[in-house]
């Protein structure tokens, strides 16, 4: 009788042990199949879709050209005239809806002209969606140019300048990025040429769009739309213009500086 009781107790303990092991196995298996997202984790393909982070300083070079529509007063074959409205664009300056100069109408001669420039500089991304640009340009103004009579009037020329502005930017999951100048932040100091000693501003450079390389070390961008900008000079000239721009960027550092915390401002 004692043996039977002991045997039953051993069997009962064995059943409890087996049940417990099976129960724990089921719990572990269920935990393994719970999606990682339930724990707020991001891995595998989901992590691959995260946009790259742009931070640090990138050196850049590029080229640009602008069509300027300053308007005109006076007789092109008459005497030279001073600027009648310093600091204010001439009434017939700017562009029509089809982006031709306002003075390009039948029966008249437009004084619109173009200039091109090469550019190099450094664009610094703070990692939080904003940054700064500093650079230099060398430009050429070729024929035809306005004049010789009335206003404006000037012969072909060349020049150079230093500029800076602030910008905002967004990086997308597909590796593209966009950037826009902060309005009112562009300043330029003219170093050589007819405008040497003058300063100028541009009200708003149109947004640019580009791509980021897979390792984040190379960027490209270009202006993908047409927009009228206003270039205002310290001597009183105000010139509406439409430009195209393209740039190539190479990373100079990774942006890990002691002042990174201040970049959040």
pLDDT value for 137: 98
The span from the CA of 24 to the CA of 39, in Å, is 21
Give me the percent of the chain exceeding a pLDDT of 70: 76
pLDDT tens by residue, 114-163: 999 999 999 999 999 999 999 999 999 999 999 999 999 999 999 999 99
Range with lowest mean pLDDT among 144-148, 232-236, 253-257: 253-257
Q: C-alpha angle 138/142/61, rounded to 5°?
A: 25
Backbone angles phi, psi at 12, to 5 degrees: -65, -45
Closest to 159 measured CA to CA, from 120, 114, 196:
196
pLDDT value for 256: 61
What rounded mean pLDDT belongs to the chain? 84
């Amino acid at each position: 009788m004692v043996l039977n009781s002991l045997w039953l107790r051993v069997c009962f303990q064995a059943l409890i042990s087996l049940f417990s092991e099976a129960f724990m196995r089921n719990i572990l298996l269920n935990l393994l199949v719970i999606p990682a997202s339930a724990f707020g984790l991001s891995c595998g393909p989901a992590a691959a879709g995260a946009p790259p982070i742009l931070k640090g300083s990138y050196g850049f070079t590029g080229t640009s050209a602008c069509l300027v529509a300053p308007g005109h007063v006076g007789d092109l074959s008459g005497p030279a005239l001073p600027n009648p409205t310093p600091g204010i664009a001439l009434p017939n300056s700017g562009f029509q809806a089809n982006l031709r100069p306002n003075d390009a109408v039948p029966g008249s001669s437009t004084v619109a002209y173009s200039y091109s420039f090469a550019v190099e500089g450094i664009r610094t991304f703070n990692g939080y969606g904003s940054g700064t640009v500093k650079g230099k340009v060398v430009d050429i103004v070729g024929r035809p140019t306005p004049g010789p009579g009335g206003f404006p009037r000037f012969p072909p020329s060349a020049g150079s300048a230093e500029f800076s502005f602030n910008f905002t930017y967004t990086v997308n999951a597909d590796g593209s990025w966009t950037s826009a100048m902060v309005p009112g932040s562009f300043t330029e100091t003219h170093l050589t040429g007819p405008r040497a000693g003058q300063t100028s501003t541009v009200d708003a450079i149109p947004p640019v769009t580009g791509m980021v390389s897979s390792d984040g070390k190379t960027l490209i961008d270009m202006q993908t739309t047409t927009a009228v900008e206003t270039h205002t000079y310290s001597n009183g000239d105000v010139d509406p213009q439409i430009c195209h721009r393209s740039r190539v960027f190479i990373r100079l550092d990774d942006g890990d500086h002691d002042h990174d915390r201040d970049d959040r401002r």
